[in-house]
Amino acid sequence: MKDMQDETGPVSPERVAPSRLVVGGPGKTVKNGTRLTASDCAALANLLKKAQDDLFEIDIAYRLFRRGMEVEFAEPDIVIRLPEGLFSVACKRPRTIEAVQGRIRDGANQIRKLGLPDEPRE
């Protein structure tokens, strides 16, 4: 059986919800006649970022599962049961190439703050 990437492409919010739900920006009228404010647009943008982050975690968990790993959604984001023990994964989605190093550091700090080991544990 092919990997999800080969069958349908990567998981993305655009595949889950059409981008035409909100057209325009602040002051524009949407389908039901309601006008959007700048704060409405900011709130929608934040919701979209959160949805993208959640979909990224689901996509990573799915890919690990497809490779035969036992996956659980738990802090920090995903916990994998390996023959060597449990392994914690903090999923980070850098939005620029410049942000990659900082997001790796954020993920490592997230795991350490939870008191979890950063290598497989029994």
My answer on whether 12 and 64 are in the same domain is: yes
Does one domain contain both 120 and 82? yes
Of 68, 61, 72, 73, the closest CA to residue 83 belongs to: 68
pLDDT at 86 (0 to 100): 87
Do 35 and 1 fall within a single domain?
Answer: yes
Same-domain status, 53 and 89: no
> How confident is the model over 90-102, as pLDDT tens digits?
999 888 999 999 9
Same domain, 64 and 88: no
Identify whether residues 88 and 115 lie together within a single domain: yes
Cα–Cα distance measured from residue 67 to residue 65, given in angstroms and rounded to the nearest whole number: 5
| Cβ 36 vs Cβ 22: under 8 Å | yes
Domain match, 80 and 52 both: no
| Enclosing domain of residue 79 | 69-122
Same domain, 60 and 16: yes
Q: In terms of pTM, does the model score above 0.85?
A: no
Backbone Cα Rg of the chain: 18
Distance separating alpha carbons of residues 103 and 107, to the nearest angstrom: 6
Q: Each residue of 34-63: pLDDT tens digit?
A: 677 788 888 888 889 899 999 999 999 999
Considering the domain architecture, whether residues 59 and 104 belong to the same structural domain is answered as no
Provide the number of structural domains found in the chain.
2
Geometric angle at alpha carbon 61, from 52 and 45, rounded to 5°: 5
